[in-house]
C-alpha cells in the first residue's frame, strides 16, 4: 500500500481550522480528534459515565450532555484533573481514530491527515506519522487573534497561550510549517504546495503499520498505539 499518515497541529488561535478547510476542499482525508473527542463523551457512552463518576453531575447541561466550558475550566486550573480526564478519553479517541484510518486505507486514499491539537505535547503519536505539520503564527498575531475571537483581556489570553507548548518550540519538531501570520491567500498557497508535495511523496509509513499488524494482530497494534498515546 502507498498510504501514510500526516499529523497536523497548531496552537490556540493559530488558524489551524482555516488550513483544515483548504485541505478538505482539496479532497483530503482529515480525521479531526476534537470532533471525535466530543463524540466519545456523548450521553450513555463509557467515557461519559466515567467522567461523571470523577467530576460529578455539576458539569452537565440541562439536556444531560457535558458542559465542555465548565469541564474545561476545571482541567485548565488543575493539572491532575486534566491528566485524569485524558486517561479516560484518550483511549476511546484513539480507538475511533484507528477505525477511521482503516476506513480510508480500504478506500485507497494516498494519505490521511490526523488533526490532533496536542500532537506535539503528547509526542506519543508522532512516531507513527511520516510527516508532521505545524500551523504557525507569530506570538503577537496569536495573542491579538485570541483576544478578538474570545473577548478575553490581555492577561487572560496570555494565560491561555502559556498553558500550551509555545509555537516556536513546536516548530522545532515539525517536518513542515505553514505560516499563518499573513493573509488567507498566503496561507492557501502554502497549503496547496504542501498538498502537492504529499501527493508526490515516495515515503510510505503504512508499510510499518501493516507489518506490525501482520505480526501482532490488530489488537496488538491498538495496544501499542494506546500505550504511546497516553504515556
Instruction: Give residue-wise pLDDT tens across range 198-226.
Output: 988 754 444 444 433 433 344 444 444 44
Does 209 fall in a domain?
no
Does 210 fall in a domain?
no
The residue out of 85, 108, 131 marking a domain boundary is 108
115 and 195: one domain?
Answer: yes
The residue out of 73, 90, 108 marking a domain boundary is 108
Question: Which segments of 79-183 does DSSP mark as H helices, in order?
Answer: 79-107, 119-122, 139-150, 154-162, 167-171
What is the total residue count of the chain? 231
16 and 68: one domain?
Answer: no
- Please tell me the distance from the alpha carbon of residue 63 to that of residue 44, in angstroms, as a whole number: 12
118 and 188: one domain?
Answer: yes
CATH number, domain with residue 126 = 3.40.50.300
For residue 98, the enclosing domain spans 40-108
104 and 115: one domain?
Answer: no
User: Which strands make up the sheet holding 176-179, listed edge to edge?
Assistant: 29-32, 111-115, 4-9, 131-136, 176-179
Instruction: Give residue-wise pLDDT tens across range 111-136.
Output: 999 999 989 988 788 999 999 999 99
Question: How many structural domains are present in the chain?
Answer: 2
- Please tell me the distance from the alpha carbon of residue 197 to that of residue 24, in angstroms, as a whole number: 16
pTM beyond cutoff 0.95? no
Amino acid at each position: 500500500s502507498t498510504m501514510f499518515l500526516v499529523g497536523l497541529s497548531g496552537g490556540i488561535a493559530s488558524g489551524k481550522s482555516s488550513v483544515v478547510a483548504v485541505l478538505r476542499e482539496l479532497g483530503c482525508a482529515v480525521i479531526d480528534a476534537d470532533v471525535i473527542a466530543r463524540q466519545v463523551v456523548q450521553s450513555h457512552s463509557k467515557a461519559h459515565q466515567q467522567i461523571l463518576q470523577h467530576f460529578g453531575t455539576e458539569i452537565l447541561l440541562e439536556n444531560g450532555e457535558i458542559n465542555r466550558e465548565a469541564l474545561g475550566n476545571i482541567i485548565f486550573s488543575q493539572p491532575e484533573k486534566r491528566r485524569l480526564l485524558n486517561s479516560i478519553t484518550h483511549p476511546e479517541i484513539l480507538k475511533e481514530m484507528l477505525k477511521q484510518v482503516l476506513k480510508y486505507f480500504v478506500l485507497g486514499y494516498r494519505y490521511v491527515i490526523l488533526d490532533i491539537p496536542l500532537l506535539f505535547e503528547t509526542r506519543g503519536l508522532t512516531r507513527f506519522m511520516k510527516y508532521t505539520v505545524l500551523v504557525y503564527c507569530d506570538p503577537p498575531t496569536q495573542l491579538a487573534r485570541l483576544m478578538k475571537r474570545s473577548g478575553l483581556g490581555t492577561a487572560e489570553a496570555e494565560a491561555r497561550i502559556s498553558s500550551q507548548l509555545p509555537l516556536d518550540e513546536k516548530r522545532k519538531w515539525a517536518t513542515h510549517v505553514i505560516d499563518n501570520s499573513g493573509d488567507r491567500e498566503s496561507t492557501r498557497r502554502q497549503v496547496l504546495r504542501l498538498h502537492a508535495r504529499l501527493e508526490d511523496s515516495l515515503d510510505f509509513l503504512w508499510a510499518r503499520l501493516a507489518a506490525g499488524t501482520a505480526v501482532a494482530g490488530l489488537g496488538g497494534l491498538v495496544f501499542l498505539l494506546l500505550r504511546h498515546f497516553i504515556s
